[in-house]
Structure 1
Amino acid sequence: MTTEKFAEFLAVHLWAVLLVITLGMLLGAWLLWYVLQRYGARVMGRLQELLAGIGPHVRRLPIPGAVHGVWQLARRLGVQVLLSMTIAIMACVGFVEIADGIGVDEDLEQFDTALSAALSQHASEQQLRIFAVVTHLGDKGFLIPLAAIVAVLMLFRRRWVLAITWIVVTAGGGLLNVVLKAIFERSRPEHLHGFASAHGWSFPSGHSSGAFIVYGLLAYLIVIHSKPRWHLPVAAIAMTVIVCVGFSRVILQVHYFSDVLGGYAFGAAWLTAWIAGLEAFRRRQQDTGLTGTKIS
């Protein structure tokens, strides 16, 4: 199947494709949640035992002291922090790969063009009208007031560390997106339907990265302050919103597909790096019994 035929297939079966993508993401979230709930404590216990068992042997190896320092740091940070850092690094690598693929005559760039052209022919007025409403969940005019309300609530509850982190992560993510757009200077696809308008550079998508950062961090904060039975619904709702906001930009033809992928990759890297920091702070609280700056 050629790139053009595949893009036309996606455009013609738009609802089914979006449903499959969303359900696939939700299934993945459920499996991860199930594994963590069922086996997380057991796996972490076994890993701690393994680290404790091989630690003395590692210390006897003729390797530089810096390696020993990294080993000890990894043990202190814990599995959650290391997992978040790993995801952040993988997302950074993904962003670089996506950015490398949007050059002229690259396969990803050709798919972008073909999909945008197919959507301009096959996306119905009803579909465009629906996603023109959905896309507002990623607008600055919606995310900034939402972020401000959350920040005020955390300041009112004297969660100083969380409030400062929330402001830095959400505001900093938006500013970095502007910088990245200026670096890549990619033009937007053309669209004539009139259901949405967008200005400025195209890569990476600000709606996609903004939704990923704001809704992702909000879901994380809710999860660490709620009972386990709420974790999966919160993650599912956040993931559904993030997916719908991102793909609304493609369907409305104000962004290319790779713009949204790049926005997701940047948002994931930025968000998980900060979550790693928060998890490290939480672990330090548990180890030292700190009070007054609690985040959970």
Structure 2
Amino acid sequence: MTERDLSTDAVNVQLAEAVRRVPATLSAEEALAGVPVMALLASHADAAKAYPTIVSTVERAELDRVKPLRDVAPKRTSRAYRWWSVIALVVALIAPALIMTGRTGSAALDPVSGALPSGLAMAVALGLFVWLEPKRTSNPLYRAGNFGAPMFVLITVIWAIGVSIVLREGEELQFHPEAILGLVLQIVATIGCLVLAVFAFRHDRERPQWADGRKVRESSALPAELAESPEYRAKLERRVTEWRRHVYGVSTADERAALLAAELEAVRLLADRGTLTPAQFDEAQQRVRSRSDWR
């Protein structure tokens, strides 16, 4: 089997696409500098999956240097705040329980008589949740996973079940204005909790757990002027070179042969495109074959 035979059709297609994206303004040496990475990404599936992580690691390190994280929430919450968080959750769960237990027939409240106190409890719980929300992601209880945004979705579902229980009373409600008021409060609180859940999920994304709920980056994108700077390009090239050598070192003999074949194929495609002269093509092939550590 020849070196060309080791390149599969799929690898050749990826290499052709990679070579097509090489800017025509690059010199022969600049184009050849990208060949090892082209070959690695085209012929080594595991490396292709890991490559975006390698690049993003360098980008994050550069962002940490030029764009420090900024504070967006209090660093700590008081003990009183944490107790109010617990109280809000307890009230939120008691509210539907007032009418759910009433269906057993032996409870003090039936769905009609319990509609108003249940609606009031839901309104109070929602008010507490809204008041507590700005500092929620700094709450140690939230950090333990007890007060995440999905909690509001669960509460919305439970409250909606409570609303449906009262609605089943049908004509009985018209004889009890207080029950109708309670039902209205329940419906408004349920919708309000759903809206709060939307904002809570947004807050969770803005203040992720790795930032301890206190710091986020104003922008996660690497500025174009920074991405094109010689300093950043040199850092990225060093990191990619280290990673490439590691991949080559842990690869099997067949994988190394595939890498070599892919690199030779990329050189040939550059020559066919006119980026390399015949002399440069021959020299590049000899250089690829002579590298024992895939530098």
Q: TM-score range by the shorter chain?
A: under 0.3
Which structure has the larger Rg?
2
The TM-score with structure 2 as length reference comes to: 0.24
- Structure with more helix by fraction: 1
